[in-house]
Amino acid sequence: MRVFIAVELPQQVKKEIAAIQNKITDTTNKIKWVSPASMHITLKFLGEVQEKRLDKVFDISQGVADKFNPFSVEIKGTGAFPETGNPKVLWVGIKEGSAELARMAAELEKELFKDGFPGERKKWTPHITLGRVKQLKDTHSIKELIGKEKETSGGKMKVEEIVVLQSQLTPQGAIHTPLKRFSLKKD
């Protein structure tokens, strides 16, 4: 099954991010927008995982969750990967809490790699995907729309758990089903 580890977003934050998404709607370029219901912060994408290896993913996720206290996150700013001049993915960023998320992602990466899961080739950047550019006709319009929302807040939230999710791809978009949740340690 297709699996990843993430931080889920509360409904209010999803609503605020959807409002940002609506502000940067672009009719010039073809963009596949992520449904607000599917929005999350990916910590580690594992891809296809055999069911017999899921227990190891759960054990590692629990071990990493046990190393972190709950912390606050502020969603703020917009951007694109790899860059706004040639965007493939449009995103909203993480301001407060990004260092903690990066440490958590790095710890998952390290522990999963030790257990034989493939390592990341790209540097991990905390973000929430808004949409994927399917056909680019005018980079200027995307740059302008993203630039207008660079300082817009998508809300604040508390990270209290990480979740291992199954992702099923459908023509309407991915459907994410939680497999197991792991609470961060409480002081």
Active-site annotation, residues: 40, 127
**Residues 14-19: contacts with CB within 8 Å, 24+ apart?**
14/39, 16/75, 16/153, 16/154, 16/155, 17/75, 17/92, 17/128, 17/130, 17/154, 17/155
Identify residue 41 by its one-letter amino acid code: I
Contacts of 161 (CB under 8 A, 6+ apart): 7, 8, 65, 181, 182, 183, 184
Sign of CA dihedral 130, 133, 134, 135: positive
Q: How far is CA 14 from CA 8, 47, 126, 147, in A?
A: 10, 24, 16, 21
The secondary structure of residue 117, as a DSSP letter, is P
